[in-house]
Every structure is written in C-alpha cells, then in structure tokens.
Amino acid sequence: MNTKGITLKPEFEKAILDLGFSEFTEIQEKCIPIIREGKDLIGLSHTGSGKTAAFGFPSLEKVIPERGIQLLVIVPTRELCNQVAKEFVKFTKYRRTDIVEVYGGISIGPQIQHLRRADVVIGTPGRLLDHLSRGTLNTNNIKILILDEADKMFEMGFINDIRKIISRIPKNSQKLLFGATMPQEIMNIANKYMNNPKKVKMQEYVDKSKLVQHYYQVDKHKKFSLLAHIIKKELRGLVIVFCSTRHIVDIVDKSLAKQNIKTQALHGGMTQGRRNQVMELFRNGKLDVLVASDVAARGLDIKNVNLIINYNLPKTSQDYVHRIGRTARAGNEGKVISLLSPDDHDNFRRILEDRSLLIHKIETPHFENIEFSKPQYNKRPSYNRFSRNRRY
C-alpha cells in the first residue's frame, strides 16, 4: 500500500490491508496527520472522498478500550449513523473497541444498556440530547468530538441541538468538523468552540468531465411512462430515482415493480431495519433501481451508480449537487437525467443559478404510455421482507 508517509498503529495497519486499501485518498493524506497531532480541523469534502477513514483511523487510535466514552461522532441521519458505525467496526477489527449507535425511532432501553460499556458513540442530535437529559450518556471522558455532515445538520434544523451537545463536551477535547459546505451558522460554531482549527478543502469528488447531465420536457401525467422507458433503455448498472416526497417514492417504486423492474423504496418513513435491508440489497447488486427521497442523497456510500434520474427536481442547486454526487465518482463515468414537468420549473430555475452545472435539454423520445395509478392506503402496512405489497 502507498501510505504516502503515514504510518498507523499496527492493528490499524492490518485492518487497512484487510479492507483492500491501495493508497490513502487526498483527504485522508491531508487530515490524518493533523488529527494525529491533536489539532482541531474543519474538512470540506463531498461524500465518497473517503472522509470516514480520514477521521476514523486517527481518532480510533486514541481510544483506549474500557475507559469510558472517549469518542463521540454526531451525524444527521440514522442511515449515516449506521454506515459510520459499520466502518468503525471494520477499522477496529484488531483492537476490541465497543462502538454504540444512538438514534431515534427505536427503543431507547437497549441503547441505555449499551452506553454503559461504550468506548465510542455515534449518534443523531435528537437522541443524543435525550440521553444527556436522562443522564445515560457520560461525556466526562470524551477526547474527540466529530461533527459529520455538519451542513446537513444545519439544513435539518439541528443547529441548537448541536450547541447544547457541544456545551456538555470537555472544553479541551479535540473537535473535528466535516461537511460539503460550511454555511455561516456552522462557522459560528467553529469560531466559538474550536481552537485555531486547521482547514482542509477538497476538490469535488464528482468529475464533471465524466458526468453527462440531461433533462427532458414532459407532461406531468406522462412522467412515469418516460421514467420506465428510460430505465429499460439505460439499465446498465445501478440506478437511483429521486422523488420529492415519501408518498411519491412509494407510488413510483410499486409502479416500476409492475414493469418487472427490480426496485425498492428508501425513505425516512420506513423502519430502520427495513432501510438497512434495502441498502444491502442495492449495494450487493440484487436490485437494479433504488427509488429514494433525499434521505439517500447525503452521507450514504453507494458505489458504482451509473445513472441518477430526478423524477422530481429538488428545491436548490445544493440539493441537486448532493443527488448527482452518487455517480461519476473516482474516475468513473455517470449520467443524470431530470424529468421536467411544469411543476418543476421554479425549482429548475433555482438549480440553474449555479453556473457550474451544465444541464442540456434533449429531445424527448417516443415511449409507450403506461397506466400509472396511485396505490390505496387503507390497509395495514406490511413489512414482509419479500412482499411487493408493502407500504411504509
């Protein structure tokens, strides 16, 4: 492995080799030495650049098992919490470290039990505050605090929760802050709580020279028919279809399944267990299409996505960039197709305010009209793993 002069402790070097790392990425090369020196750090990096390993390896090196919670990672979503925890387990394969996930939507009781023996905690702001108010999260021994996807947490309205959590962390702890962008509110936190942080800014991981961005004009009532036509024509790898709401996700998912397309839905209204199952199926290539709300646009490491389809346009150029960041990564080619109906025009104008986005209109192809009926919701939800009649 090309370590670029970085040498980790032996147990972590072994883990890196097991993971098949050939070399450190740019963000890992720049951040690992700074974190190992104990300095605060602000990292600007898009999803997929390798930032979890960039902050994970040097932070976990400093954790001494069975001495209380020493590392706290705050993340915006349950999916990212689960993902970071899984990566940390891999990183600590040869050093027994108790890693605990803390997020809402599930019973708090087992989390309370696990926190009593935790060395590392990864959690979402709301549930972390819940534990702090109950006295079940001991922060006295925390050496390192990491805010991952800090800008997303601001967008989701967690800024005050973050302030409350930071106020409970020892002042002399090392603080690391990562995000794709740094809005002023996040910089205010950095200025108040961080000690002369070093700044690392990465180039975009998405290679726009390898990313084709198109849009079709289409009547609203024909949008699904065009979607099905595109998927059947373009299906050469993994596809993500983004929709604006959970309800539309469910409708599109079920309708695509009727076209014999291997698809599953992913959104925040599903149980965490079911969401994890869907992500595993998609990552392992057992699905062709993931129909998702924007919960999947940030923080999820999904490799080898060849095509992104915007069934509905997002509200901002930033949200659009987060969506397209799933493809054209690490030197691979990718394509983005947006389906533009009159309802999307206002959002599209806002997206085009970002002059770096080169989105070209192409002629809408001829396609077969497909019946697109909304499912009924008068039955009790079914969570059978293999059922196509599920509702979330």
CATH number, residue 92: 3.40.50.300
**Which pLDDT value is given to residue 107?**
93
Last residue of some domain: 142, 166, 201? 201
Q: Is 370 within the bounds of a domain?
A: no
pLDDT in tens, 224-242: 999 999 999 887 778 999 9
**Do 193 and 304 fall within a single domain?**
no
Distance CA 18, CA 91 (A): 9
DSSP letter (8 states) at residue 245: S
**Which pLDDT value is given to residue 385?**
35
Q: Into how many domains does the chain fold?
A: 2
Question: What region does 149 belong to: left with phi over 0, alpha with psi -120 to 50, or beta?
Answer: left
pLDDT in tens, 127-155: 999 999 999 999 999 999 999 989 888 88
**Do 179 and 230 fall within a single domain?**
no
**Do 25 and 170 fall within a single domain?**
yes
**Which pLDDT value is given to residue 300?**
60
pLDDT in tens, 333-371: 678 999 999 999 999 998 888 777 889 999 999 999 987
Q: Is 188 within the bounds of a domain?
A: yes
Cα 377–chain centre separation: 29
**Which pLDDT value is given to residue 390?**
33
**Which pLDDT value is given to residue 187?**
87
Of 184, 173, 164, nearest to 146 by C-alpha is 173
**Which pLDDT value is given to residue 389?**
35
Last residue of some domain: 153, 185, 201? 201
Q: Residue 253 sits in which domain range? A: 208-361
Where the chain has pLDDT below 70, the residues are: 1-4, 22, 46-49, 203-210, 295-303, 326-333, 373-392
Last residue of some domain: 201, 223, 242? 201
